[in-house]
């Protein structure tokens, strides 16, 4: 089945530093990937849509300069949390859909738990 | 803008009992998804419902979709402890082809099945 690999699974960083999270589709190509954020006991909130070869589309209220997204190939998207602060601590999950199977579900990575101290 | 609402948000069940989780959505969604999430884990796809009247079953779980009522249900039959998890429904807004089919999630239903 379709596999989405997300790395790292867990990261602890100091306030003010930047953290990069990678999301790879292992056995399919994804024109579009999605980045979600989830706080404890809450739902998934869509942050942005990552588009291969073009700019990401950010949801309202998400700072594009703080959450940098790059989608350089059909199998890789990265999210960089710049100048992280404790309030950025959260569970970040990427997802992707096989570009050749539009009716298929979104496949999710295993998530990255970010803790900013 | 598509909004998705689930109820109940918390559900404590006894093993062997049946129950239903409801998912309402606000505007037209061209399909409805159900996912399961275990604590600290990512999401596992359960069902994709593509059209009005669609019904899908897997084991003790059955999902259905009524697009006229903008309602999907996830029915649990004879619950077992292994079904304890958080269940999310998600809709895909229509006419967002240029956004690759993003999903909007409901709040989630935390299910606890007790012996």
pLDDT range class, residue B98, cuts 50, 70, 90: low
Give the tens place of pLDDT for each residue, A35-66: 999 998 899 999 999 988 888 999 999 999 99
Distance CA A49, CA A23 (A): 13
Beta bridge partners of A6: A23
pLDDT range class, residue A112, cuts 50, 70, 90: very high
CB nearest A105 (choices: B42, B48, B102)? B48
| Mean pLDDT, residues B48-76 | 94
CB nearest B105 (choices: A44, A51, A110)? A44
Measured distance between the N- and C-terminal CA atoms of chain B, rounded to whole angstroms: 41
* Residue A112 distance to chain B (closest CA, Å): 9
Grouping H, G, I as helix, E, B as strand and the rest as coil, residue B68 is coil
pLDDT range class, residue B51, cuts 50, 70, 90: confident
**Residue B35 predicted with pLDDT over 80:** yes
The tally of CA atoms less than 13 A away on the side-chain side of residue B84 is 12
Is the Cβ pair B102, A34 closer than 8 Å? yes
Task: Quote the distance between the C-alpha of residue A13 and its chain's center.
Answer: 17
CB-CB neighbours of A87 under 10 Å = 8
| Mean pLDDT, residues A9-33 | 95
Beta bridge partners of A12: A115
Please check whether residue B82 is in contact with residue B112, taking contact to mean a CB–CB distance below 8 angstroms.
no
Please tell me which residue, B100 or A30, carries the higher pLDDT value.
Answer: A30
Q: Look at residue A38 in the predicted model and tell me its pLDDT.
A: 94
CB-CB neighbours of B35 under 10 Å = 24
Beta bridge partners of B60: none
Q: Look at residue B99 in the predicted model and tell me its pLDDT.
A: 56
**Residue B52 predicted with pLDDT over 70:** yes
Is the Cβ pair B107, A109 closer than 8 Å? no
Q: Look at residue B91 in the predicted model and tell me its pLDDT.
A: 92
Q: Look at residue B28 in the predicted model and tell me its pLDDT.
A: 73
Mean pLDDT value across chain A: 92
* Residue B56 distance to chain A (closest CA, Å): 14
* Residue A105 distance to chain B (closest CA, Å): 6
**Residue A100 predicted with pLDDT over 90:** no
Cα-based distances in Å from B49 to A24, A76, B54, B73, B85: 26, 28, 6, 11, 21
Q: Look at residue B97 in the predicted model and tell me its pLDDT.
A: 53
User: Per the structure block, which two tokens stand in for A80?
Assistant: 């960089």
Beta bridge partners of A46: A36
Q: Which residues of A touch B106 (CB under 8 A)?
A: 43
The tally of CA atoms less than 13 A away on the side-chain side of residue B38 is 6
**Residue B109 predicted with pLDDT over 90:** yes
Q: Look at residue B101 in the predicted model and tell me its pLDDT.
A: 75
Pairing of strands B43-49, A10-13: unpaired
Grouping H, G, I as helix, E, B as strand and the rest as coil, residue B10 is strand
Is the Cβ pair B100, A105 closer than 8 Å? no
**Residue A72 predicted with pLDDT over 90:** no
- Suggest the residue from A44, A54, A58, A111 to mutate for an interface test with chain B (most B CBs closer than 10 A): A44
């Amino acid at each position: 089945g379709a596999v989405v690999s997300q790395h790292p699974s867990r990261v602890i960083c100091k306030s003010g530093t930047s953290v990069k999270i990678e999301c790879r589709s292992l056995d399919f190509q994804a024109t579009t990937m999605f980045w979600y954020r989830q706080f404890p006991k809450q739902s998934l909130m869509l942050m942005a849509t990552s588009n291969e070869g073009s700019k990401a589309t950010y949801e309202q209220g998400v700072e594009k300069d703080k959450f940098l997204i790059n989608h350089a190939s059909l199998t890789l998207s990265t999210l960089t949390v710049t100048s992280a602060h404790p309030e950025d601590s959260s569970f970040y999950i990427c997802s992707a859909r096989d570009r050749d199977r539009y009716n298929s579900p979104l496949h999710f990575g295993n998530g990255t738990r970010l803790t900013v101290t | 803008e598509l909004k998705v609402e689930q109820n109940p948000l918390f559900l404590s069940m006894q093993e062997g009992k049946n129950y239903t989780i409801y998912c309402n959505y606000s505007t037209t969604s061209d399909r409805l998804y159900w996912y399961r999430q275990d604590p600290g884990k990512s999401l596992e796809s359960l069902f994709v419902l593509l059209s009005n009247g669609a019904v899908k079953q897997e084991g003790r779980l059955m999902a259905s979709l009524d697009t006229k009522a903008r309602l999907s249900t996830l029915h649990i039959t004879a619950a077992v402890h292994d079904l304890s998890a958080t269940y999310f429904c998600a809709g895909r807004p229509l006419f967002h082809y240029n956004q690759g089919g993003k999903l909007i999630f409901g709040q989630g239903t935390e299910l606890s099945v007790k012996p």
